[in-house]
C-alpha cells in the first residue's frame, strides 16, 4: 500500500467540517483512500453510486439519512446524484456533527455547484491527484522516468510493463470520452472530445488559441472554450494563467494549456517508451508539464502563473505568495544554464530567486540568484516546508 499525502489532511478536515469532499479524476485512488480512512471505523456506511443497488438506496435520501442517523456515511461518485446535497443539509444541521459525510467525486467543485450553494460553510474540499513522485519515491521500484512516462494513475504506474500501462491508459481515455463526459450531461460527441484531447496534447505547454482550435474542429470559439472548461473541471486539462504585472512592457495574455497527467499525454500521442519520448517534439513540454503538476500538488497558498513578454522573455512557472515571487524554469538537460531571456524576465519583474529544475542528480547554486535542482530535491524542499516557503538555503 502506497501512503497518500492527503490522508492526514482528510483526517484533519473531518474534525473541522460536517462534510468532507475528496475530488479528483476517475481512477486516481479516491475510493482506496476513503476505504483506508474508514476501515477502522465501524460507524461508516459506504455507498458506491456506480452500483445500481447502492443508488437505489438513495431513492429517498432523507429517509436513508434518517435511518442511518447514528452512522457516518461515505458516498462515492457523488456527481452521479448531485441532488443529494440538498438532502444532506438537514441531516448536517440536525446533528451538528463534524465528519458525518465523506463524499468522493470525479468532477470539480464548480461542476458540483449545488454543494457550494447548499452546504456553504459546512463542507471542506480536498483534491486528490494521481500518484506524485514524492508519494512513490520511498517504494523499492521507483523510477522518475517510469513515473514520467506512465503518469501517476495507480493502475497505469503499477502495471507489469510499459506496454500494459499504455493499454490501460488507452482504455481510460476511451472510457473518459465515451462515458464520463456524457454522464455529466455534456452533449459532446466522443470523436470531438478525442480530437480536442489530441490537439491539446500536441499543444502541450503552448499558448491557448481557441479560435484556431475551433477552426480545426469546425466549431466556434465559444464552443471550444466550453469544451476546454469541461476538460479542466474533470481534472484532465490545466490552464496556467499569464502573470500580468503593472509594468510598461507588453505581455502575453493567453493561458498555456497542459494535459495534467504525463502518462495520459503520452498515450494520446502514442508514445510507448522513454526512447520514443526523447525523440518526440513534446519531450521538453512533457517534462515541463510533469514537473508543474508535481510541484503544484505540494504547494499551499501560492498562486501559479507563467510570464512571457512580447519580446519573448519568459518564466515557465512563476509562484507568488503575498509580496514574494519565485521563478521556476524546466530543462531536460543534465547540465542546464540560465538563458539571457530568463535573466531579462527576472529583471523585468524584479525577482531575485530562481530555480531551474533539470534532469540532474545533483542540486547546487549556479549563482546567488539561480539554483539548479533535480525534481525530487525540489519536492523535498516543498514537503519539508509544507509548501509554505521556498529558499535556496532550505
Q: What is the CATH number of the domain that holds 375?
A: 3.40.1350
Burial (CB < 10 A; 0-12, 13-18, 19+), residue 222, is: exposed
Is 251 inside any structural domain?
Answer: yes
Is 290 inside any structural domain?
Answer: no
Question: Phi-psi category of 206—alpha, beta or left, where left has phi over 0 and alpha has psi -120 to 50?
Answer: beta
E-strand spans in the chain? 19-23, 44-48, 72-76, 101-105, 123-127, 206-207, 237-240, 256-259, 303-308, 314-321, 324-331, 354-358, 364-365, 370-374
Q: Tell me, what's the pLDDT at 394?
A: 36
Are residue 146 and residue 240 in the same domain, yes or no? yes
Q: Which residues contact 169 (CB under 8 A, 6 or more apart)?
A: 150, 151, 153, 156, 263, 264, 266, 267
Are residue 97 and residue 159 in the same domain, yes or no? no
Are residue 137 and residue 267 in the same domain, yes or no? yes
Are residue 276 and residue 139 in the same domain, yes or no? yes
| Residue closest to 280 by CA, chosen among 290, 270, 289 | 270
Are residue 167 and residue 66 in the same domain, yes or no? no
Whether pTM > 0.75 for this model: the answer is yes
Is 330 inside any structural domain?
Answer: yes
Are residue 361 and residue 237 in the same domain, yes or no? no
Answer yes or no: are the C-beta atoms of 208 and 257 closer than 8 Å.
Answer: yes
- What cell numbers appear for 394 in the block? 532550505
Assign residue 238 the CATH number of its domain: 1.10.10.10
| Residue closest to 135 by CA, chosen among 125, 144, 145 | 144
Last residue of some domain: 127, 157, 181?
Answer: 127
Is 66 inside any structural domain?
Answer: yes
Q: Tell me, what's the pLDDT at 385?
A: 60
| Residue closest to 39 by CA, chosen among 17, 79, 15, 72 | 72
CA distance linking residue 154 with residue 148, whole number of Å = 13
Spell out the per-residue pLDDT of the chain, length 394, in tens. Answer: 788 989 999 999 999 999 999 999 999 999 999 999 998 778 899 999 999 999 999 999 999 999 999 999 999 999 999 889 999 999 999 988 999 999 999 988 887 887 778 898 999 999 999 999 999 988 888 999 999 999 999 999 999 999 999 999 999 999 999 988 888 767 788 898 999 999 999 999 999 999 999 999 888 888 899 999 999 999 999 999 999 876 666 677 899 999 999 999 999 999 999 999 999 999 999 999 999 999 998 887 889 999 998 888 899 999 998 888 999 999 999 999 999 999 999 999 999 999 999 999 889 999 999 999 999 999 888 767 654 455 554 3
Is 289 inside any structural domain?
Answer: no
Last residue of some domain: 282, 312, 341?
Answer: 282
Last residue of some domain: 67, 93, 127?
Answer: 127
Is 179 inside any structural domain?
Answer: yes
Angle, alpha carbons 50-297-327 (nearest 5°): 150
Is 158 inside any structural domain?
Answer: yes
Going across the sheet that includes 314-321, the strands are: 303-308, 314-321, 324-331, 354-358, 370-374, 364-365
Is 12 inside any structural domain?
Answer: yes
Cβ neighbours of 196 (radius 10 Å): 22
Angle, alpha carbons 121-124-130 (nearest 5°): 160
What does residue 223 show for φ and ψ, rounded to 5 degrees? -70, -45
CA distance linking residue 15 with residue 258, whole number of Å = 35
Are residue 254 and residue 273 in the same domain, yes or no? yes
Q: The domain containing residue 347 runs over which residues?
A: 299-394
Are residue 42 and residue 166 in the same domain, yes or no? no
Are residue 116 and residue 183 in the same domain, yes or no? no
CA distance linking residue 89 with residue 281, whole number of Å = 51
In total, how many domains does the chain have?
A: 3
Are residue 205 and residue 274 in the same domain, yes or no? yes
Are residue 257 and residue 316 in the same domain, yes or no? no
Are residue 314 and residue 381 in the same domain, yes or no? yes
* Residue-level length of the chain: 394
CA distance linking residue 184 with residue 62, whole number of Å = 23
Assign residue 106 the CATH number of its domain: 3.40.50.300
Amino acid at each position: 500500500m502506497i501512503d497518500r499525502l492527503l490522508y492526514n489532511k482528510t483526517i484533519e478536515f473531518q474534525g473541522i467540517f460536517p462534510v468532507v469532499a475528496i475530488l479528483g479524476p476517475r481512477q486516481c485512488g479516491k475510493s482506496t483512500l476513503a476505504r483506508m480512512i474508514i476501515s477502522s471505523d465501524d460507524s461508516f456506511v459506504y455507498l458506491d453510486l456506480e452500483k445500481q443497488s447502492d443508488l437505489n438506496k438513495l431513492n429517498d435520501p432523507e429517509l436513508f439519512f434518517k435511518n442511518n442517523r447514528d452512522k457516518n456515511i461515505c458516498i462515492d461518485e457523488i456527481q452521479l446524484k448531485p441532488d443529494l446535497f440538498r438532502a444532506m443539509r438537514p441531516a448536517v444541521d440536525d446533528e451538528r456533527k463534524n465528519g458525518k459525510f465523506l463524499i468522493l467525486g470525479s468532477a470539480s467543485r464548480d461542476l458540483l455547484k449545488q454543494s457550494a450553494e447548499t452546504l456553504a460553510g459546512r463542507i471542506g474540499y480536498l483534491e486528490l491527484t494521481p500518484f506524485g513522485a514524492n508519494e512513490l519515491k520511498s517504494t523499492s521500484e521507483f523510477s522518475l522516468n517510469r513515473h514520467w512516462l506512465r503518469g501517476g494513475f495507480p493502475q497505469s504506474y503499477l502495471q507489469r510493463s510499459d506496454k500494459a500501462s499504455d493499454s490501460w491508459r488507452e482504455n481510460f481515455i476511451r472510457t473518459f470520452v465515451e462515458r464520463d463526459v456524457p454522464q455529466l450531461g455534456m452533449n459532446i460527441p466522443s470523436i470531438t472530445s478525442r480530437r480536442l484531447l489530441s490537439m491539446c496534447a500536441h499543444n502541450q505547454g503552448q499558448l491557448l488559441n481557441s479560435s484556431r482550435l475551433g477552426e480545426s474542429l469546425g466549431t466556434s470559439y465559444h464552443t471550444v472554450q466550453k469544451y476546454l472548461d469541461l476538460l479542466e473541471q474533470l481534472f484532465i486539462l490545466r490552464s496556467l494563467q499569464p502573470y500580468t504585472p503593472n509594468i510598461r512592457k507588453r505581455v502575453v495574455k493567453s493561458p498555456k494549456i497542459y494535459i495534467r497527467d504525463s502518462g495520459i499525454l503520452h498515450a494520446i500521442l502514442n508514445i510507448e517508451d522513454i526512447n520514443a519520448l526523447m525523440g518526440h517534439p513534446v519531450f521538453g513540454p512533457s517534462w515541463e508539464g510533469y514537473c508543474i503538476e508535481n510541484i503544484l500538488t505540494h504547494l499551499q497558498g501560492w498562486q501559479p502563473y507563467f510570464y512571457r513578454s512580447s519580446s519573448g522573455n519568459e518564466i515557465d512557472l512563476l509562484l507568488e505568495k503575498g509580496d514574494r515571487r519565485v521563478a521556476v524554469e524546466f530543462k531536460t538537460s543534465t547540465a542546464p544554464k540560465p538563458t539571457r531571456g530568463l535573466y531579462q524576465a527576472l529583471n523585468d519583474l524584479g525577482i531575485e530567486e530562481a530555480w531551474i529544475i533539470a534532469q540532474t542528480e545533483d542540486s547546487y547554486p549556479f549563482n546567488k540568484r539561480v539554483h539548479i535542482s533535480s525534481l525530487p530535491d525540489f519536492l523535498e524542499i516543498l514537503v519539508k516546508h509544507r509548501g509554505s516557503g521556498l529558499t535556496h538555503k532550505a
